[in-house]
């Protein structure tokens, strides 16, 4: 397992988009990047899918509208995750905003369906304009890498901590997964420990509890274009907060994950294309399709194998997510049957490597101790102010402390 980035030996410390040797992408597949891609896609297809179902129920959506939503965010999010890494050869992983879906669960009842579509379109347009302006690029470049790594560590710590409570709730399943994880880490270098843990957990879950497949089935219907209705209320209370959530909870952590793994992502292009894909997604009934923060952290981390091949983890994730969008009407009942502690356990195992590598980068040096500590603690608090999430406040606070109090005058 890549708890420390053991794949760095003999590789460039920073990878520029398009500067790697061009090899057929299918030859770059290996057990590590396939494993990370499958885990990344599984995280998006479990809890977030249930949040969408809850939000659609709160808004009184029809089955057609629900299918449109699930199809749009996964199909175009998966397409983003295929196009971007294959084009740039870095693990830019696409999906949709989980926090955005959670936000919409509280908003769908307050807007008509066309007004929601209009809000989604305006949100994508705002993201596109922010990306094209270059403002997001300047902000990210201003923040020390140690602060970004500490923020990411704080962001994933909660997920890893939940691993303990999940094993406590499902001791037999969690014990089998944990033992498989440790044995593979120690004795079987060729197999990804996280994937072996998840496989052991699934087998034990089916053997001991089975799966309740009596959940509500959603009938198939063809996706169709949706007509938006634009209102000032939708702009101010829906589009603007949604865009800020996507930029703060997805774009910032996702780009931060790439930076902390020594990639050099084209920030303006990533954010601008996130806006374009989100606009297209909106016309099919979904809120967004963009770079996904947590999924990018998984695919760009050391568990995804040699750095120059990690982009294939994002591509694998994209293919699986895209297929999920096409067949969501059949797969959703299976997702509903998984116990919530099991989903939390899945996330915990997947993010152990991300947590350890970013803790090492954030705190191994002595230059930015206080700013890194602030950037680590604030995401743990999960505070939100002015519709700006904890990760962004962590980056801003850490950067201010670093520049004002810890940076040498000659730097």
**Would the pLDDT of 292 be above 60?**
yes
At residue 316 the predicted structure's pLDDT band, cuts being 50, 70 and 90, is very high
- Least confident segment among 61-65, 128-132, 330-334: 330-334
Helix (H) or strand (E) holding 290: strand 290-291
At residue 214 the predicted structure's pLDDT band, cuts being 50, 70 and 90, is low
Q: Who wins on pLDDT, 402 or 122?
A: 122
Distance CA 103, CA 55 (A): 9
- Least confident segment among 113-117, 121-125, 175-179: 175-179
- Cβ distance 120 to 232 under 8 Å? no
Please list the residues that pair with 95 across neighbouring strands.
Answer: 290
pLDDT tens-digit map of 175-192: 888 898 888 888 776 667
**Would the pLDDT of 19 be above 60?**
no
What is the predicted pLDDT for the residue at 314? 92
CA atoms within 13 A of residue 201's CA, in its CB half-sphere:
28
What is the predicted pLDDT for the residue at 16? 53
Angle between helices 340-363 and 293-300 (to 10 degrees): 60
Residue 213 is encoded by which pair of tokens? Answer: 């497949």
Please list the residues that pair with 385 across neighbouring strands.
Answer: 388
pLDDT tens-digit map of 154-164: 877 887 888 88
Nearest to 55 by CA among 287, 359, 280, 303: 287
At residue 117 the predicted structure's pLDDT band, cuts being 50, 70 and 90, is very high
At residue 283 the predicted structure's pLDDT band, cuts being 50, 70 and 90, is very high
Residue 310 is encoded by which pair of tokens? Answer: 């990690």
Residue 95 is encoded by which pair of tokens? Answer: 């999906």
pLDDT tens-digit map of 340-398: 788 778 777 777 877 887 788 788 777 888 888 988 888 888 776 765 667 778 878 88
Q: Who wins on pLDDT, 1 or 123?
A: 123
Q: Which residues, in sequence order, are CB contacts of 407 under 8 Å at separation 6+?
A: none
Q: Who wins on pLDDT, 410 or 88?
A: 88
Please list the residues that pair with 290 across neighbouring strands.
Answer: 95
Distance CA 4, CA 353 (A): 7
């Amino acid at each position: 397992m890549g708890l420390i980035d053991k794949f760095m030996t003999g590789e460039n410390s920073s990878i520029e988009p398009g500067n790697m040797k061009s090899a057929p992408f299918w030859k770059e597949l290996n057990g590590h990047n396939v494993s990370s891609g499958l885990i990344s896609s599984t995280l998006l297809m479990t809890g977030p899918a249930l949040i969408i179902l809850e939000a659609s129920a709160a808004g009184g959506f029809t089955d057609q509208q629900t299918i449109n939503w699930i199809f749009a965010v996964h199909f175009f999010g998966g397409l983003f995750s295929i196009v971007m890494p294959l084009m740039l050869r870095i693990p830019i992983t696409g999906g949709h905003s989980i926090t955005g879906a959670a936000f919409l669960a509280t908003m769908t009842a307050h807007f008509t369906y066309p007004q929601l579509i209009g809000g989604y379109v305006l949100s994508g347009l705002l993201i596109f304009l922010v990306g094209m302006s270059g403002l997001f690029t300047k902000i990210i470049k201003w923040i020390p890498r140690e602060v970004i790594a500490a923020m990411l560590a704080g962001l994933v710590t909660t997920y890893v901590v939940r691993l303990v409570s999940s094993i406590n709730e499902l001791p037999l399943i969690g014990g089998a997964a944990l033992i498989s994880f440790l044995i593979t880490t120690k004795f079987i270098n060729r197999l990804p420990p996280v994937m072996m843990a998840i496989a052991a957990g699934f087998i034990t879950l089916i053997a001991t509890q089975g799966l309740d497949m009596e959940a509500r089935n959603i009938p198939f219907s063809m996706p169709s274009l949706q007509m938006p209705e634009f209102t000032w209320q939708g702009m101010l209370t829906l589009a603007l907060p949604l865009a800020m959530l996507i930029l703060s909870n997805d774009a910032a952590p996702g780009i931060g994950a790439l930076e902390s793994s020594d990639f050099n992502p084209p920030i303006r292009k990533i954010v601008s294309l996130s806006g374009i894909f989100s606009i297209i997604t909106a016309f099919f009934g979904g809120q967004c399709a963009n770079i996904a923060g947590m999924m990018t952290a998984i695919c760009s981390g050391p568990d995804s194998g040699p750095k120059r091949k990690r982009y294939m983890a994002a591509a694998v994730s994209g293919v699986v997510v895209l297929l999920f969008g096409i067949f969501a009407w059949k797969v959703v009942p299976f997702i509903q049957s998984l116990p919530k502690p099991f989903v939390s356990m899945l996330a915990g195992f997947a993010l152990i490597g991300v947590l350890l590598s970013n803790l090492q980068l954030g705190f191994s040096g002595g230059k930015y101790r206080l700013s890194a500590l602030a950037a680590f603690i604030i995401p743990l608090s999960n505070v939100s102010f002015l519709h700006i999430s904890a990760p962004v406040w962590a980056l801003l606070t850490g950067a201010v402390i670093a520049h004002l109090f810890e940076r040498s005058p000659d730097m």
